[in-house]
Chains A and B, each alone.
Chain A
Amino acid sequence: MKKIYALEERCLGCRLCEVYCKTAHSKSKNIIKAHKEEDIESAIFIEEIISEKQISYFALQCRHCADPQCVKACISGAMYKDDDGIVKNDKKKCVSCLSCILVCPFGAIKLGKDGKTVSKCDLCVDYGKSLCVEKCPNNAIELLEEHYKKEI
């Protein structure tokens, strides 16, 4: 299964991935309407690491774990792993207990803007392509096979 990998050494922290994530998950699929009219939380977020020498960034999103804690913790069965191995969230079943947010070891699940549902990466399966990967200006987010090891 292919997953989204963030390459820290290339990430510029421009946050375009967040913009396109919101667009891909909007109803309108229109970048301006998605931001001005719809209230969506991005499922990918840029983390900043500020050290003395420099600031570095990386994009954080669901790792689609083999043994996902969030699925185990979910009390309503909203969080599930589909046949392709993608961890998904069924908003209709979600009861906003937020257990998934508590147990996620990566901090990759966020509370949605509505304060009720959670927002997480679904690899844009409904959209057809991972927009964050496609639009990253520096190829800092890549869709790669699971056992990909970065060449040093």
Chain B
Amino acid sequence: MSLDFNVPSFEVIRNEKKCIQCKVCIHQCSNMVHVYDEEDAVVYSNNNKCVNCHRCVTLCPTEALLIREYPLEFRKNTNWTRQAIKEIYKQAQSGGVLLSSMGTPKTFPIYWDKLLLNASQVTNPSIDPLREPMETKIFIGRKPNKLDFDNEGKLVTVMPPQVELNVPIMFSAMSYGSISKNAHEALARAATELGTCYNTGEGGLNKAFYKYGKNTIVQVASGRFGVHKEYLNAGVAIEIKIGQGAKPGIGGHLPGKKVGEDVSATRMIPIGSDAISPAPHHDIYSIEDLRQLIFSLKETTRYSKPIFVKIAAVHNAAAIASGIARAGADAIVIDGLRGGTGAAPTRIRDNVGIPIELALASIDQRLNEEGIRNSVSLIVAGSIRNSSDIVKAIALGADAVYIGSAALIALGCHMCHSCSTGKCNWGIATQEPFLVKRLNPEIMYKRLVNLITAWNHEIQEMLGGMGINAVDSLRGNRLMLRGIGLNAKELQILGVKHAGE
């Protein structure tokens, strides 16, 4: 088909008075947007190739570049929006499934923004975290229902394995393959310095990263890429990935062109072959099957590491979580509707699953009612954007959170939603050596450390304001939350009162 109906999404505007023809934009753009015309000595831009990643804008030394939404107007129609029309053009042209990256851009309610935190006034004192101790250390793992001590006051109860975290924040599972080796190194080094964990994702663990084992959670997903005994014992915990918030119910697909020598060795698949993760684990068709896998992994690691089970937040999440807890998992990870991904079918990403806030509240409630909340830790993920989201998640019942998109944004991601193209100009979601280089782990791990340190300070401030001196004391304390602009059903599910009540 010669005629493409689609018009560009973005327009590159160049201020000719400022442009010095240094060609930095040309050298930096992997989408070949900018072209230098020798004859006229000007730089032109091909708007239709621009994904709005801001790489050229950020590196332009004279601030001569600006990118904005392509200003072509479609006739106003609330039903047939520009997006709806463009997607049809695209599919009529390609005949393929629409693919998207990162979290859904749709306008689903963000309950974090409809919850307000409490603070102490007069009747109970607030705490200044700069003057008084404020504990943000937490332990992930199964907790015994009671502790026994001998006559000398020493602990007799044998504690199940725990993962100790200095901050209630971990880095989400992002596989080596979907993100670059340098991005992984930045995450691993930051996790080590912060005393928290990063997650290998389903792509195995590169040999070079075994040294970060004390801060690593290794993942076992349906594709079982890179899974072997040494790998399972390399980290401090093992995560079984059943589902992902951005694409519940479906598997993954790493295109063969991203499977270079190193990724191939790590994943244990041939160079250039597509890495396809099936939608289900073919050995898990019931809670009993899940229990078998949990216990095989426990056997492999001599019962020394907690086993996490990660599911997408779906309609029956509470009942499923109860099953997972009873299957012997030490922690349940719930990934919400707004969670990110390297690539997912657009329709799945934008329409399947439920918001993490509602799933978390109902799961915590259900596990409490069944008296098994102690037997698992709850970790939530899926678009945690800042420290107040974390405090609210903890008050709703979470033990810790995973951050993925936020961590990548700290590494330079500008949320252009083009991860699946493999041409990430920031060196994150790519395996091209000349692009991977752009993410210098030496610089970037410090940015991650800065981000989490800053968030941790903010968490301490918010806890102090509420008169609470430990993350553990806030967990599930929904009286510290009030809803704003929520209906009675939403308040009931969240288990919070409305502001003013």
Q: Which residue of A lies closest to B438 (CB)?
A: A12
Flag B25-39 by CB within 8 Å of A: 1 or 0 each.
001100000000000
Give the residues in chain A near B24, CB-CB below 8 Å: 14-16, 19
Report which of B17, B18, B27, B434 forms a contact with A15, defined as CB distance below 8 A: B27
Range class of the B interface residue count: 10 to 19
- A15–B442 touching, CB < 8 Å: no
Given A31-B62, A137-B59, A139-B442, are A19 and B437 also a contact pair (CB < 8 Å)? Answer: no
Tell me the minimal C-beta distance from B314 to chain A in angstroms.
42
Give the residues in chain B near A135, CB-CB below 8 Å: 61
Q: Which residue of B lies closest to A46 (CB)?
A: B27
Q: Which of A21-41 contact B (CB under 8 A)?
A: 31-32, 35-36
**Interface residue B443 (Cβ < 8 Å from any Cβ of A):** yes
**Interface residue A10 (Cβ < 8 Å from any Cβ of B):** yes
Give the residues in chain B near A139, CB-CB below 8 Å: 440, 442-443
- B433–A54 touching, CB < 8 Å: yes
**Interface residue B155 (Cβ < 8 Å from any Cβ of A):** no
Give the residues in chain B near A67, CB-CB below 8 Å: none
- A14–B59 touching, CB < 8 Å: yes
Q: Which secondary structure characterizes the binding site on chain B? A: loop
Report Cα–Cα, A18/B61, bound state, in Å: 11
Given A12-B28, A13-B27, A16-B24, are A138 and B440 also a contact pair (CB < 8 Å)? Answer: yes
Report which of A20, A55, A137 forms a contact with B434, defined as CB distance below 8 A: A55
Given A31-B61, A32-B20, A36-B20, are A12 and B442 also a contact pair (CB < 8 Å)? Answer: no
**Interface residue B23 (Cβ < 8 Å from any Cβ of A):** yes
Give the residues in chain A near B443, CB-CB below 8 Å: 138-139
Tell me the minimal C-beta distance from A19 to chain B in angstroms.
5
Report Cα–Cα, A31/B440, bound state, in Å: 26
Tell me the minimal C-beta distance from B133 to chain A in angstroms.
37
Report Cα–Cα, A19/B26, bound state, in Å: 14
Q: Which residue of B lies closest to A20 (CB)?
A: B61
**Interface residue A84 (Cβ < 8 Å from any Cβ of B):** no
Flag B407-446 by CB within 8 Å of A: 1 or 0 each.
0000000000000000000000000011001101011000
**Interface residue A9 (Cβ < 8 Å from any Cβ of B):** yes
Q: Which of A54-74 contact B (CB under 8 A)?
A: 54-55
Report Cα–Cα, A36/B443, bound state, in Å: 33
**Interface residue B6 (Cβ < 8 Å from any Cβ of A):** no
Report which of A9, A14, A20, A35 forms a contact with B28, defined as CB distance below 8 A: A14
Give the residues in chain A near B18, CB-CB below 8 Å: 32
Give the residues in chain A near B21, CB-CB below 8 Å: 35
Report Cα–Cα, A10/B434, bound state, in Å: 9
**Interface residue B22 (Cβ < 8 Å from any Cβ of A):** yes
Report which of A11, A19, A138 forms a contact with B20, defined as CB distance below 8 A: A19
Tell me the minimal C-beta distance from B184 to chain A in angstroms.
17
- B440–A35 touching, CB < 8 Å: no
Q: Which residue of B lies closest to A57 (CB)?
A: B434
Give the residues in chain A near B20, CB-CB below 8 Å: 19, 31-32, 35-36
Report Cα–Cα, A48/B141, bound state, in Å: 52
Give the residues in chain A near B28, CB-CB below 8 Å: 12, 14
- B442–A18 touching, CB < 8 Å: no
- A35–B437 touching, CB < 8 Å: no
Give the residues in chain B near A20, CB-CB below 8 Å: 61
- B62–A32 touching, CB < 8 Å: yes
Give the residues in chain A near B440, CB-CB below 8 Å: 10, 138-139
Q: Which residue of B lies closest to A36 (CB)?
A: B20
Tell me the minimal C-beta distance from A32 to chain B in angstroms.
6
Q: Which residue of A lies closest to B22 (CB)?
A: A19
Report Cα–Cα, A137/B437, bound state, in Å: 11
Report Cα–Cα, A36/B434, bound state, in Å: 30
Give the residues in chain B near A15, CB-CB below 8 Å: 22-24, 27
Report Cα–Cα, A127/B91, bound state, in Å: 56
Tell me the minimal C-beta distance from B211 to chain A in angstroms.
15
Give the residues in chain A near B61, CB-CB below 8 Å: 16, 19-20, 31, 135
Q: Which residue of B lies closest to A140 (CB)?
A: B440
Report Cα–Cα, A54/B437, bound state, in Å: 12
With most chain B CB atoms within 10 A of its CB, the pick from A10, A12, A18, A31 is A12
Tell me the minimal C-beta distance from B331 to chain A in angstroms.
37
Tell me the minimal C-beta distance from A137 to chain B in angstroms.
6
Tell me the minimal C-beta distance from A103 to chain B in angstroms.
30
Report Cα–Cα, A91/B438, bound state, in Å: 37
Report Cα–Cα, A9/B438, bound state, in Å: 10
With most chain A CB atoms within 10 A of its CB, the pick from B21, B24, B442 is B24
Tell me the minimal C-beta distance from B22 to chain A in angstroms.
5
Give the residues in chain B near A9, CB-CB below 8 Å: 437
Give the residues in chain A near B22, CB-CB below 8 Å: 15-16, 18-19, 35
Report Cα–Cα, A9/B20, bound state, in Å: 27
With most chain B CB atoms within 10 A of its CB, the pick from A18, A55, A138 is A138
Report Cα–Cα, A19/B59, bound state, in Å: 12
Flag B62-95 by CB within 8 Å of A: 1 or 0 each.
1000000000000000000000000000000000
Flag A105-147 by CB within 8 Å of B: 1 or 0 each.
0000000000000000000000000000001011100000000
Report which of B27, B62, B434 forms a contact with A54, defined as CB distance below 8 A: B434
- A12–B23 touching, CB < 8 Å: no
Q: Which residue of A lies closest to B21 (CB)?
A: A35
Give the residues in chain B near A11, CB-CB below 8 Å: 437
Give the residues in chain A near B27, CB-CB below 8 Å: 12-15
18 contacts between A and B (CB under 8 A): A10-B440, A12-B27, A13-B434, A14-B24, A14-B27, A14-B28, A15-B22, A16-B22, A16-B61, A31-B20, A32-B62, A35-B22, A135-B61, A138-B437, A138-B438, A138-B443, A139-B440, A139-B442
Known: A14-B28, A16-B22, A19-B24; 12 extra A-B contacts, CB below 8 A, are A12-B28, A13-B434, A15-B24, A16-B61, A19-B22, A31-B61, A35-B20, A35-B21, A55-B434, A135-B61, A138-B443, A139-B440
7 closest Cβ pairs, A-B complex:
A35-B20, A19-B22, A138-B440, A54-B433, A19-B61, A14-B24, A14-B27
